[in-house]
């Protein structure tokens, strides 16, 4: 009997070779592939399904984090565009009528401070903030799905579709 202990990396390589020997190759697997591999390895299918569900939740959460970060960056560039256009217009008006730029510089300076704060919040958010906002996105999606389902069922009953 061999009492050797294997590292996690060694175990992963062994299992990878077993999976490849069963004909599963590549970097991506479908849900059915995973269930078939689990059956071949005599794994508890209920536990595998639970782990698949957890992996899907993690992936959905990561997507929500990415979407929120991208949204914040788009919003910053919208703010920057408005800042530039408005200040160009204000400069043009100021030079056309009063020849003084002090007001424009003060206005742009204070707005610029706010824009700088927005830049840092958009491009360097805390992980806590990103996770909080991603959770909001997911809650919103779940609520929309529940409402859609409810109204679909209500409409089906109203129209006599059962």
pLDDT tens per residue, range 135-151: 999 999 999 999 999 99
Q: What pLDDT, on a 0 to 100 scale, did the predictor assign at position 86?
A: 95
Q: Kindly state whether residue 143 falls inside one of the protein's structural domains.
A: yes
One domain for residues 63 and 132: yes
Residue with tokens 């206005």: 107
One domain for residues 66 and 130: yes
Q: What pLDDT, on a 0 to 100 scale, did the predictor assign at position 24?
A: 81
How many structural domains comprise the chain? Answer: 2
One domain for residues 12 and 69: no
Q: What pLDDT, on a 0 to 100 scale, did the predictor assign at position 162?
A: 59
Whether the per-residue pLDDT at 41 is higher than 70: the answer is yes
Whether the per-residue pLDDT at 23 is higher than 90: the answer is no
Q: What pLDDT, on a 0 to 100 scale, did the predictor assign at position 128?
A: 96
Contact 138, 132 (CB under 8 A): no
What residues make up the domain containing 96? 56-159
Contact 114, 153 (CB under 8 A): no
Nearest to 134 by CA among 66, 74, 73: 66
How far CA 134 is from CA of 14, 48, 115, 143, in Å, comes to 37, 26, 23, 14
């Amino acid at each position: 009997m061999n009492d050797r202990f294997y590292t996690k990396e060694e175990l992963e390589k062994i299992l990878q070779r077993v999976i490849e020997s069963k004909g599963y190759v590549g970097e991506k697997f479908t849900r059915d592939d995973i269930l078939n591999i689990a059956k071949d390895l005599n794994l508890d299918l209920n536990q595998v399904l639970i782990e698949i569900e957890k992996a899907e939740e993690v992936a959905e959460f990561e997507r929500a984090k990415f979407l929120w970060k991208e949204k914040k960056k788009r919003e910053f560039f919208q703010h920057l565009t408005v800042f530039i256009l408005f200040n160009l217009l204000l400069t043009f008006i100021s030079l056309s009528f009063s020849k003084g730029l002090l007001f424009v510089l003060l206005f742009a300076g204070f707005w610029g401070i706010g824009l700088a704060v927005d830049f840092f919040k958009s491009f360097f958010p805390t992980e806590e903030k990103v996770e909080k906002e991603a959770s909001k996105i997911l809650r919103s999606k779940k609520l929309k799905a529940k409402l859609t389902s409810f109204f679909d069922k209500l409409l089906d009953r109203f129209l006599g579709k059962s």
